[in-house]
């Protein structure tokens, strides 16, 4: 019997296995900066050497050490001690960690665009075993980062590592990474093709990367996009700058890592597109007397200090341009509830800002298994013609309507215990949304999937944005009304919780996170 060939590992898998050998002596929260810093250095060096060869071929040997001749081709200039060949030559030396730190510092010093981007003194401080670090360097050395420009090898590796680190770090960590298929869905729905793009909590910059990919896939012009973002955590801020630099994407992420609420670095920005994944249910995000008169809340009540969800919403509302569109993620609890959040939600609905509410499946995130909501806000839902790459779309007036979509039964298995959208899923969902927007489309409400609610419908439901209050749910096999069945189960569950000493509030929170608003 012929021996079957073992499946060859991808570059990403090989690198991950090599990087994993650092575990034990180094926390994953630390060694991701080790690995990604080295990948960046290898990539920058490969581009430098490629440009150097071009200059030699052009007979310009005397310009080989002049940074201007590299910068003009969007290539970072690397002094001798920062080049990958120098690092590999010294990879077995006891001071290799210091040499890597010096290389990264020198690259940043010689390239203003990288200011604040690269790991600072990581390698020396972590006291890595020379043998393990050397083995990792050897693995990275085998990657030709610029061999296949179409495949974006470094971008692929970078994205893979961010995902794997988010999974490895588990719940409560890795908040900077939003799964790629969710970001792709947001991009396909709001279509950030031209103008200013903003992310107030940009993490590692994934929203920006997918925005650029959307433009490339739809034959748009990247030069017609400007990127603005902000990130609170310093190490994640560095990840974002590296992630964008690797792909040659220019962005204004502010001068430093900073809190968007207390130190807004884009106060006067009016963005055409906003994409964001704010921290879910962030508590104590401001002091009781802090930000009371902040201009971002103008026309609305002050968001409660107990939960930042509506603080993030109003921050984004304040940044929208006249025709601006925002797509962002929030925990399902923001769809309902009372107090100041109710007052703000009511005003958002009355102001015709909310265009679509989309419930996503559970288990899409690597750090939490709850179902979350994609909100689409649109500053101009009126009848108009909208320019899109390669076409103009005639939009109908949806000013007094909201599209509700339930995707909890969508998706395909991923990494055994997670769910992701396929390319076809994303295409179908986006087509439903855009069909609903446009004149002449054959959009229809579909049970268990989508429903176009009027403002009057929403007012009757006391301004709740829970999709199950609007979308028709029917169990076809048993011919049972889905919502009625859920109410029955809720009563049974309530009795069970009473036996266990739990409160009704606990029960409401459970159902709210699942996307159901049920009265007790």
Q: What is the pLDDT of residues 451-462, one digit of tens each?
A: 999 999 999 999
Domain boundary residue among 421, 441, 461? 441
| 20-32 average pLDDT score | 66
Query: Is there a domain that residue 358 lies in?
Result: yes
- Is residue 461 assigned to a domain? no
What pLDDT does 471 receive? 93
Residue 52 lies in a domain: yes
pLDDT, one tens digit per residue, over 61-98 is 999 999 899 988 888 999 999 999 999 999 999 999 99
Q: In whole numbers, what is the pLDDT of the chain averaged over residues?
A: 84
291 lies in the same domain as 394: yes
Average pLDDT score over residue span 474-486: 58
Q: What is the mean pLDDT of residues 15-36?
A: 70
pTM of the model: 0.81
For residues 487 and 397, give the distance between their C-alpha atoms in angstroms, rounded to a whole number. 36
CA dist 241 to 68, 251, 387, 442, Å?
22, 8, 31, 43
- The CATH number for 67's domain is 1.20.1260.30
What is the b/e burial string over 503-517, where b = at least 16 CB atoms within 10 angstroms of the residue's CB? eeeebbeebbbbbbb
pLDDT at 477 (0 to 100): 53
- Answer whether residue 169 shows pLDDT above 50: yes
**What pLDDT score was predicted for residue 3?**
47
What is the domain extent for residue 478? 474-513
> Do 98 and 192 fall into the same domain?
no
**Does residue 132 lie within any of the structural domains?**
yes
Amino acid 280: pLDDT: 85
Q: Percent of the chain, pLDDT > 70?
A: 82
* Comparison of pLDDT for 90 and 487, the residue scoring more: 90
Judgement on whether residues 251 and 208 belong to the same structural domain of the protein: yes
Close Cβ partners of 446 (under 8 Å, ≥ 6 residues apart) = none
**Rounded mean pLDDT of 24-37?**
70
Can you tell me which residue has the tokens 């690198």? Answer: 15
Higher pLDDT, 66 or 28: 66
Q: Could you give the C-alpha distances from 436 to 68, 311, 484, in angstroms and in order? A: 51, 29, 28
Burial class (CB in 10 A: 0-12, 13-18, 19+), 116: middle
- Please give the average per-residue pLDDT across 149-171, as a whole number: 66
Q: How far is residue 54's CA from residue 64's CA, in Å, rounded to a whole number?
A: 10
Same domain, 119 and 228: no
Give me the number of domains the chain comprises. 3
The predicted pLDDT at position 482 comes to 56
Rounded CA gap, 208 and 446, in Å?
33
Instruction: Say if residues 439 and 433 touch (Cβ distance below 8 Å).
Output: no
Residues 39, 47: Cα–Cα separation, whole Å: 12
Whether residue 329 sits in one domain with residue 422: yes
pLDDT tens digits along 241-279: 888 887 778 899 999 999 999 999 999 999 999 999 998
Whether the Cβ atoms of residue 449 and residue 441 lie closer than 8 Å to each other: no
Instruction: Report d(CA 510, CA 337) in Å as an integer.
Output: 13
46: its two tokens: 């490969």
Is residue 428 domain-shared with residue 483, that is, in the same domain?
A: no
Token digits of residue 246: 């690797």
pLDDT band at 219 (very low <50, low <70, confident <90, very high): confident
pLDDT recorded at residue 19: 72
In this prediction, residue 231 has a pLDDT band, given cuts at 50, 70 and 90, of very high
């Amino acid at each position: 019997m012929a021996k079957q060939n073992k499946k060859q590992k991808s570059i990403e898998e090989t690198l991950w296995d090599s990087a994993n050998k650092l575990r034990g002596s180094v926390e994953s929260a630390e060694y991701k900066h080790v690995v990604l810093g080295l990948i960046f250095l290898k990539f920058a060096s490969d581009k430098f050497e490629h440009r150097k060869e071009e200059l030699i071929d052009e007979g310009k040997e005397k310009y080989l050490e002049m940074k201007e001749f590299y910068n003009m081709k969007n290539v970072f200039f690397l002094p001798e001690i920062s080049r990958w060949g120098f690092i590999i030559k010294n990879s077995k030396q006891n001071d290799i960690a210091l040499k890597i730190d010096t290389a990264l510092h020198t690259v940043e010093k010689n390239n203003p665009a990288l200011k604040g981007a690269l790991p600072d003194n990581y390698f020396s401080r972590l006291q890595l075993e020379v043998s393990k670090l050397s083995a990792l360097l050897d693995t990275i050395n085998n990657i030709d980062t610029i061999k296949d420009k179409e495949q974006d090898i470094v971008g692929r590796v970078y994205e893979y590592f961010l995902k794997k680190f988010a999974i490895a770090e588990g719940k409560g960590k890795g908040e900077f990474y939003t799964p790629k298929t969710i970001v792709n869905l947001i991009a396909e729905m709001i279509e950030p093709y031209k103008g200013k793009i903003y992310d107030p909590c940009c993490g590692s910059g994934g929203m920006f990367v997918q925005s650029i990919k959307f433009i490339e896939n739809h034959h748009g012009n990247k030069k017609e996009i400007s990127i603005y973002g902000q990130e609170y955590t310093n190490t994640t801020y560095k990840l974002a700058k590296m992630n964008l630099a690797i792909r040659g994407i220019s962005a204004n992420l502010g001068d430093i890592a900073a809190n968007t609420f207390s130190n807004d670095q884009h106060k006067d920005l009016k963005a055409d597109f906003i994409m964001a994944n704010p921290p879910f249910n962030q508590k104590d995000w401001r002091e009781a007397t802090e930000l009371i008169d902040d201009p971002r809340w103008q026309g609305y009540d002050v968001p409660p200090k107990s939960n930042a969800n509506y603080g993030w919403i109003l921050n984004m509302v304040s940044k929208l341009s006249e025709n601006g569109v925002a797509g962002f993620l929030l925990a399902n609890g923001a769809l309902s509830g009372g107090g100041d959040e109710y007052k703000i939600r009511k005003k958002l609905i009355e102001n015709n800002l909310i265009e679509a509410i989309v419930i996503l499946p559970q288990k899409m995130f690597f750090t939490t298994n709850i179902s979350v909501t994609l909100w689409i806000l649109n500053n101009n839902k009126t009848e108009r013609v909208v320019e899109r790459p390669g076409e103009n779309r005639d939009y109908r007036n949806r000013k007094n309507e909201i599209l509700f979509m339930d995707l909890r039964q969508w998706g395909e298995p991923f990494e055994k215990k997670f769910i992701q959208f396929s390319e076809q899923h994303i295409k179908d969902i986006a087509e439903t949304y855009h069909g609903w927007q446009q004149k002449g489309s054959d959009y229809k409400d579909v049970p268990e999937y989508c429903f176009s609610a009027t403002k009057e419908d929403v007012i009757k439901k006391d301004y709740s944005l829970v999709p199950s209050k609007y979308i028709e749910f029917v169990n076809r096999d048993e011919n049972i009304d889905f919502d009625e069945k859920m109410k029955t189960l809720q009563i049974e569950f309530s009795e069970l919780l009473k036996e266990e000493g739990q409160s009704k509030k606990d029960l409401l929170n459970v159902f709210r996170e699942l996307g159901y608003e049920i009265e007790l």
